[in-house]
């Protein structure tokens, strides 16, 4: 007669056997293989200037952010510390101190931050006199019930929070470039708004072609997003905005869902390039929603670039091929630590830092050629 086996003993024995077989990579009927999820690999992604400027030091923005993040710092604190390097570097005239000013010669800065785990956000727009708008945006998030403060109110808020207010954030470089733009446009500058805008854009493109400006000067920004080993995701975008813009103009950078969007359970996306196209399509939000539906970061970004292309129909915004005559790029991570950089036209790049160190990588383009073709 066979010995009776108690149900409790049978369950314990079966469980141990199943675990043993699974660990050995074997499969057998009645014992499904136990799959273990790979740990999330921390990563920081950013626009290309995130691995270019060092503000006189020896580390770039993505390198600083990754080092702090993987040493235990709050992810958002690490990302902001990274972009502060670029905001404070006078050699980068697309953000922060020395950013190219508006049409009146005044530097106005925009920034937004989002904290995935806390589900909180803050932003400032048309802020004058503070070199690090990203820190003011963080102060909005941490000290108010609001998401966005702009103009004079943003400056008063910054002063109340203890930030130093400077009379002028221009450097010799940014002022020299503004004066050159002003000199070339002055004959047309005060005739009428339409002619002034057309003249300003034409001259900016001339200065770009002559090497006085870099392409990112026209829509200069830095976006930086990161995820740590715990899966905590945050993001920050900061900019001096469109070069020589109409005073008070806000682009996409301080607008949640446009220049930046973070969902702590899904991922993050941010942008550089033509802010108006991003605002119209709320691209960063759409990218995160595409990832929510299962899309890889690259595919989510390509979906949005196609949407921008389809929605760009004004003749003034189209080149000779009937395609957008502007550039726009996105920097994307998901909750698995997968990432991508995508751009409207070939030739773009993005910054990334992981356990192998900081790198500048080629962005995936939607279209071949250049915006001006």
Active site (catalytic) residues:
221
User: Strand ranges (DSSP E) for 257-348?
Assistant: 260-263, 267-273, 328-334, 339-345
Q: Alpha-carbon Rg of the chain, whole angstroms?
A: 24
Residue 173: phi and psi, rounded to 5, are: -65, -50
CB-based contact 154:161 (threshold 8 Å): no
The structure tokens 């702090």 sit at: 68
Helix axes 193-209, 172-189, angle to 10 degrees: 130
Q: In whole angstroms, what is the distance from residue 300 CA to residue 3 CA?
A: 60
Structure tokens, 320 = 């000779």
CB-based contact 122:144 (threshold 8 Å): yes
How many residues can be counted in the chain? 373
CB atoms within 10 A of CB 164: 10
Burial of 172 from C-beta contacts in 10 A (0-12 / 13-18 / 19+): exposed
Q: In whole angstroms, what is the distance from residue 68 CA to residue 357 CA?
A: 13
Q: In whole angstroms, what is the distance from residue 322 CA to residue 369 CA?
A: 13
Residue 272: phi and psi, rounded to 5, are: -135, 160
The structure tokens 């403060």 sit at: 149
CA-wise closest residue to 127 among 138, 143, 118 = 138
């Amino acid at each position: 007669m066979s010995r009776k086996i108690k149900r409790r003993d049978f369950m314990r024995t079966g469980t141990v056997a199943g675990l043993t077989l699974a660990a050995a990579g074997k499969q057998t009927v009645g014992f499904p293989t136990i799959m273990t999820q790979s740990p999330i690999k921390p990563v920081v992604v950013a626009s290309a200037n995130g691995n270019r400027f060092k503000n006189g030091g020896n580390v770039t923005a993505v390198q600083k952010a990754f080092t702090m993040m993987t040493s235990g710092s709050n992810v958002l604190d690490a990302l902001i510390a990274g972009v502060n390097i670029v905001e404070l570097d006078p050699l980068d005239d697309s953000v922060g101190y020395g950013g190219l000013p508006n049409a009146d010669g005044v530097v106005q800065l925009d920034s937004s931050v989002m904290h995935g785990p806390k589900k909180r956000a803050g932003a400032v727009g048309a802020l004058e006199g503070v070199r690090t708008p990203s820190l003011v945006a963080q102060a909005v998030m941490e000290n108010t019930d609001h998401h966005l403060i702009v103009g004079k109110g943003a400056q008063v808020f910054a002063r109340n929070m203890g930030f130093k207010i400077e009379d002028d954030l221009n450097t010799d470089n940014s002022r020299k470039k503004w004066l050159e733009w002003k000199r070339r446009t002055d004959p047309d500058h005060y005739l009428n708004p339409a002619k002034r805008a057309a003249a300003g854009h034409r001259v900016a493109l001339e200065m770009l072609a002559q090497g006085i400006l870099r392409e990112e000067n026209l829509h200069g920004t830095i976006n930086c997003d990161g995820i740590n080993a715990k899966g905590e995701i945050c993001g920050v975008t900061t900019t001096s905005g469109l070069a020589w813009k109409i005073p008070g103009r806000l682009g996409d950078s301080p607008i949640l869902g446009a220049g930046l969007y973070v969902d702590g359970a899904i991922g993050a996306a941010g942008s550089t390039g033509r802010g108006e196209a991003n605002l119209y399509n709320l691209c960063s939000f759409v990218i995160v929603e595409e990832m929510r539906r299962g899309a890889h970061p690259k595919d989510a970004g390509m979906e949005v670039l196609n949407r921008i292309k389809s929605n760009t129909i004004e003749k003034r915004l189209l080149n000779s091929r009937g395609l957008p005559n502007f550039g726009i790029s996105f920097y994307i991570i998901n909750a698995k630590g997968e990432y991508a950089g995508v751009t409207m036209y070939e030739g773009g790049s993005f910054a990334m830092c992981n356990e192998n160190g900081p790198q500048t990588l080629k962005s995936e383009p939607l279209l071949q050629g250049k915006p001006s073709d």
